[in-house]
Amino acid sequence: MALDFAKGITEIRWHGRGGQGVVTSNQMLGKSALTEGNYIQAFPEFGPERTGAPVRAFLRISKNPIQIYAQVYHPDVVVCIDPTLLEVVNPVEGLKEDGVLVLNTTKTPEEIREKYGFKGGKVVTVDASKIAMDILGRPFYNMPTLAAVIKATEIVELKTAIETVLERYPGKVGDLNKAAMERAAEEAKIG
């Protein structure tokens, strides 16, 4: 029997590399959801923390207190913030058929669907690498990819997420991330 242990909970899995800020963007999305009145769990999968090693982070969002404490096995949303990781990890593993796949890539949603044979739900692509290099001048793909997640899922308002990021990074870094997020929300392609 297939039992659903996550009723009423939106579950998100992030893929990134150590040092790219996947834990932080996961927390930013979580805190934004919290601000909008939800209960959350935002937790990373910790190993020996090494820069460049593949890392995952998980998020649960619910209107009610969340009781389950385990990794996310069947996410509603999968996010991958590093295009080079797509050769290492399988982003659609466990993803629900009607789930949302958000990737930092130069490819189109159609190309991604074909590559992974993912037919249902939504595929969202954004060239967060270019946006980050253009605006931040450094390979911080996490916040622009976060903006694409929000555009696709509408799980929180972009405004809330930007405010959360500005609170965490006041000053110039925050302002640049804001610009990157706004541009990513515009450019993200849903297909």
Partner 1 sequence: MTAVKKIPKDDVVIEGLTGDAAIAHALKQCDVDVLAAYPITPQTIIVEDFQKFAADGEVKTKVIPVESEHSAMSACVGASAAGARVATATASAGLALMWEILYCAASMRMPIVLTIANRALSAPINIHNDHSDSYGARDSGFIQIYTQSCQEAYDTTIMAFKIAEDHDVLLPIMVCIDGFILSHNVERVEMLPDDAVADFLGIREPVQPLDPNNPITMGPLALTDYYFEFKEQQDRAIKNVPDIFKRVEAEFEKMTGRSYGMFETHKTEDADIIILTHSTAGGTAKVVADTLREQGEKVGVVRLRMFRPFPSEEIAEVVKNAKAVAVFEKCLSFGGAGNPLAMELRTALYHLAERPMVTDFVIGLGGRDVPPTTFVEGYEKTKEYLKKGEAPSYETLGVRK
Q: Are 89 and 80 contacting, i.e. CB atoms less than 8 angstroms apart? A: yes
Per-residue x/- track, 63-102, partner 1 (CB under 8 A): --xxxxxxx-x-----------------------------
Is 178 a residue that touches partner 1 (CB under 8 A)? Answer: no
Output DSSP code: residue 76: S
CB of 84 to partner 1, least distance (A): 26
Is 166 a residue that touches partner 1 (CB under 8 A)? Answer: no
Is 34 a residue that touches partner 1 (CB under 8 A)? Answer: yes
Number of residues engaging partner 1 in binding (CB under 8 A): 24
Is 3 a residue that touches partner 1 (CB under 8 A)? Answer: yes
Q: Give residues with Cβ within 8 angstroms of 20, minimum separation 6.
A: 81, 82, 139, 140, 141, 142
Alpha-carbon dihedral angle through residues 163, 168, 169, 175, given to the nearest 10 degrees: -10
List the structure tokens of 123: 């595929």
CB of 73 to partner 1, least distance (A): 6
Is 4 a residue that touches partner 1 (CB under 8 A)? Answer: yes
